[in-house]
Amino acid sequence: MSSTGKLKAIRKLILLKSQELAPTLGFSPNLFQIAAKETAVSPAIIGHIFPEGPVALVYHLMESWQEKLNEDAITNEVAKMSTKEKVYYFTKRRMEYIIPYKDVWKEAMTMGASPSNVFNTTKILWDTWDLILNLSSETPSLQYFAIPQHLLARAAYGRAYLFTEIYFLTDSPDFSHTWKFLEGQVDSLYQQKSAVNTLLDISQFTLNAQYRVLESFYPQPKFHNNPIVK
């Protein structure tokens, strides 16, 4: 195995161990060093392998959850659902993946919203939203992502998704209120002639006093007719 291949293998090993430790230790700066010690890897090389810091684990989790969504899509149960039911189902599943990390996920979101990370975080979020919309569509297609209506649908859905994720962080352990809140968010996307705030302009981010943790996820809102309803 080449030296590059060895470093990739070590990086994966550390990420997997850190994934186990994070629910207890959080996304602290020394998380990878602790994971290295527990996997017989020299902590001295952590800075070389993870120059981006612990946000690497956040991205690793978010990307692995995209793979899980694809796996969850291959069920008879999903095949029988309407598009609206699929949007609810896949969003709920995506939130459920966070449950083991719920007590420390605010750290992850804050880290992802920092100026140095927000571009990559936004890209992964968009990939996740595109995936959920694509899995929920009656005619999934990569070409669907290129049309203007999809860009508006992504923006409208993304707003509902982020509001639900924030609500999720403060909910009780059974998350019953979150699922009810999510149901309302999905319903609102399908209300005839309703209007929604969108997240089209990612260059201008504003603080929200109640949801400060996601300050960098929120651009100045624009107003559009609901793109979900044709």
Tell me the residue type at 111.
M
**Category of 131 on φ-ψ map: left (φ > 0), alpha (ψ -120 to 50) or beta:** alpha
Alpha-carbon distance of 197 to 159, in angstroms, equals 8
- pLDDT tops 60 at residue 208: no
Q: Phi/psi at 197 (nearest 5 deg)?
A: -80, 140
pLDDT in tens, 8-25: 999 999 999 999 999 999
Q: Report pTM.
A: 0.80
Which whole number is the average pLDDT over 115-134? 91
Tokens matching residue 12: 């994966």
pLDDT in tens, 86-112: 999 999 999 999 999 999 999 999 999
Q: Are 228 and 189 in contact (CB under 8 A)?
A: yes
Select from 163, 200, 176, 161 the least CA-distant residue to 62: 161
- pLDDT tops 70 at residue 115: yes
Longest dimension (CA), the chain: 59
Tokens matching residue 50: 């993870």
- Antiparallel, parallel or unpaired: β 195-198 and 222-225: antiparallel
